[in-house]
Amino acid sequence: MGEKKRYRRAMLYFIFCLFFIFTGKVFAEEKQYESFIDGYFKRMMAEHNVPGAAMVMVKDGEILLSKSYGYANITNQTPVDTEETVFRVASIAKLLTSMGVLKLADEGTISLNDPANQYLTTIQLSDTYQQEITIEHLLTHTEGLEQSSIGGKTLDSNAIKKQAIFLQENIPNQISEPGKMITYGNHTMAILGTLIEDVTGMSYEEYMEKAILAPLGMDHSSFSQPLSPELLKKRVTEYRFRNGEFIELEGSYSHMVSAGGMHTTAEDLGRLLTLLLSEDSKLLSYETIQSMLTRQFSSHASLPGISYALLEEKANGISYFYRDGDSEGAKARVIVVPEENLGFVILVNSDSDELRDEFFDEFANNFFPDNHNSINRLPIEKPEQLSGTYYYVQYPRNDFTKMMVLFTGIKVEVLNGTTINVSPLGEEPFGKFDKPKTFVQVEPFLFLSEEGEHYLAFGENEQSEIEFLFSGAGYHGSYVKVKWYENPGIHKLLYIVFIVLFFIGVIYWIVKLVKHKTLKRTDHLIGIISTLNLLFLSLFFPAVFLVGMTPGLPAFTKGVNYFMIVVFTLPIASGIFSIVLIRTQVKNHSGKYTITSFFFIFLVFYYAYLYYWRVLGYWY
């Protein structure tokens, strides 16, 4: 008996020691995480003037850390609370929408490989290509639809449209074959939200509450627009910092709720991440959850890609998946690192995105040291074909925002036999080309940035010519190389030339009026046409961007206002006067070429230019 007691005591002591060592290690690890996160958030919030933030860290399927920083409202000194404070998380809604669709697939109600049109009754997608758009194409943003931002938002809660109605009025055109490249956009997820409604017979908001939010215990989350009074009281005030002070921003509403109309808290999103990092889930099957954490599509075998819900990137050789949310005065991100069983939620009530965007790179540098070997530089194949300007594939072709592509493309230059430089033409939205970057070739047509783990790849067309560029970062933008006559430099120069020549036309008319009491009819017509078009070219960008703009929202995102219509009418009016000019010139033509003749030829090129950019008339 004595020996048995001693044996039991020894075993209990051994188990106690193991438990102490293990819990001590876990506690020490948790303290390391917390120390880094506290230091990072306090530093970045001070550097980038972020008033408030919330962070949740999930480890091994459980919430490990839940941290709040700063204020939800500066004036009232209301502190941020991870459980109670409600943030607008915009495109994080796409993650939840994807989960709603995958749940329907889990239940056997739909099949991801079926054409989306098989289930859509409210709208129908175009069938431009032999390959129909499947639900899987929509989940991976490879459906090939163009994307326009006209009228997607409103500031008036009484003017919110049902997204099915909005899509009926704004159904996007198909511009690339399904399954070939990533064409990220809001319309894609709005279509999936409409599919949910058509299949279930419930509103999108009702289905998501019943099927996703309630089972996960996400009691402070909602897709309702406007928010309920209870949640509205807990909603953060959104800010932007300008000229040394915080400016409160007015919140907008999205007509595409399943793409960007979600409000939630940090801990509610933390509960969602515990589902994704748990081995046992009653909401979705294990296979479905793995599909959300596994690359489903990539434009190149070695390029980070996209899962059924999340975008993939790398940091220090570790793949992670994420989804961002961007609104006028709030930024959000969820991050899942499958191989480390880690997840993060980051929410801020500021228009500054540096804190969110740089977090995981710094975290990886601290806890997953870079173990990469030196970059293997390979000679560039077809270097003469790589250089040029590239536009993102899904740019709008059939409305007045087509011209915005002049300021959102990228330029590629070959620097030497192994290196290229990629620089943005302006505010590049899809490929994380926010500044000039240098890339080296590491595999045929695959390049890696010298300053980080940003991959890009080039693709060939059917004639084996380089025509496409694919980014492995940001929203994984796909780009098409433009022809020489589409070069943005040429078109910007033409815009300026038109302004100068019409200005000369106005001066010509004024001088003639001053010098002569009576003028020929053609001189008056040249003056009137020049004045109308000079006004149009001078007012076009202010009209579509500035007049009616609110912070973070260009005017056109809220629809076409009366001032835009007046501006769009100017070239139509000038066209009517141009017809009168032509008839007058033909009637009085003496066989000699005059200023009027050359002016007419100039007008032909000018109107062709306007038509090409879809700004001749009412293209919206």
Interval 228-255: pLDDT, tens: 999 999 999 999 999 999 999 988 999 9
Determine the Cα–Cα distance for residues 576 and 603; give it in Å rounded to an integer. 12
Q: From CA 609, how far away is CA 528, in angstroms rounded?
A: 20
Residue 342 pLDDT > 80: yes
Is-above-0.95 flag for pTM?
Answer: no
Other C-beta atoms lying within 10 Å of the C-beta of residue 84: 17
Residue 20 predicted with pLDDT over 50: no
- pLDDT reading at 35 higher than 70: yes
pLDDT of residue 596: 81
Is residue 587 scored above 60 in pLDDT?
yes
Percent of the chain beyond pLDDT 70?
A: 94
Please list, in sequence order, all residues whose beta carbon lies within 8 angstroms of the beta carbon of residue 34, skipping any fewer than 6 positions away: 65, 67
**pLDDT tens, residue by residue, 453-469:** 899 999 999 999 999 99
Q: Which two tokens stand for residue 572?
A: 């139509």
Which tokens is 257 given? 């709720």
The domains of the chain, with CATH numbers, are 48-367 (3.40.710.10), 383-482 (2.40.128), 488-612 (no CATH)
Determine contact, residues 144/133, Cβ cutoff 8 Å: yes
Give the tens place of pLDDT for each residue, 117-169. 999 999 999 888 999 999 999 999 999 999 999 999 999 999 999 999 999 99
| Residues found in the chain | 620
pLDDT-derived band at 183, boundaries 50, 70, 90: very high
- The answer to which of 180-189, 238-247, 355-364, 375-384 has the lowest mean pLDDT is 375-384
pLDDT, mean of residues 31-51: 97
Pairwise CA distance, residues 123 & 162, whole Å: 13
d(CA 524, CA 211): 68
Res. 18 pLDDT band, cuts 50 70 90: very low
pLDDT on residue 514 = 86
Inform me whether the pLDDT recorded for 19 exceeds 70.
no
Residues 6+ apart with CB under 8 A from 581: 522, 525, 526, 529, 596, 599, 600
Only one residue has tokens 């020490």, namely: 28
- Amino acid 11: pLDDT: 58
What percent of the chain has a predicted confidence (pLDDT) above 90?
A: 82
9 confidence band (pLDDT: 50, 70, 90): low
Let me know: does 603 contact 578? Beta carbons within 8 Å.
yes
Contact 264, 221 (CB under 8 A): yes
Instruction: Return the SS3 of 103.
Output: helix
Average pLDDT, the chain: 92
Write the CA distances from 292 to 92, 132, 155, 273, 319, integer angstroms.
Answer: 14, 23, 34, 11, 13
Give the model's pLDDT for residue 26: 53
- Note the pLDDT tens digit of each residue in 165-175: 999 999 999 99
Which three-class secondary structure state does DSSP give residue 425?
coil
Number of continuous H segments (helices) and E segments (strands) in the chain:
17, 21
Residue 25, pLDDT > 60, answer no
Q: Show the beta-strand stretches assigned E in 446-505.
A: 446-449, 455-460, 466-471, 478-481
User: Looking at the predicted structure, is the pLDDT value of residue 561 above 70?
Assistant: yes
Decide: residue 518, CB within 10 A, 0-12 exposed, 13-18 middle, 19+ buried.
exposed
pLDDT of residue 21: 47
Predicted confidence band at 34 (pLDDT cuts at 50, 70, 90)?
very high
Q: What is the mean pLDDT of residues 405-425?
A: 94
Please enumerate in sequence order all residues whose Cβ is within 8 A of that of 459, keeping only pairs 6 or more positions apart, or say none.
181, 299, 300, 445, 466, 467, 468, 469, 470
Residues 387-403: what's their mean pLDDT? 95
Q: How far apart are CA 46 and CA 353, in angstroms?
A: 13
pLDDT at 87 over 60: yes
Residue 519 pLDDT greater than 90, yes or no: no
Closest C-alpha to 152, from 252, 254, 232: 254
Q: Is pLDDT above 80 for 403?
A: yes
Q: Give the contacts of 297 (CB within 8 A, at least 6 positions apart).
A: 140, 142, 179, 182, 305, 306
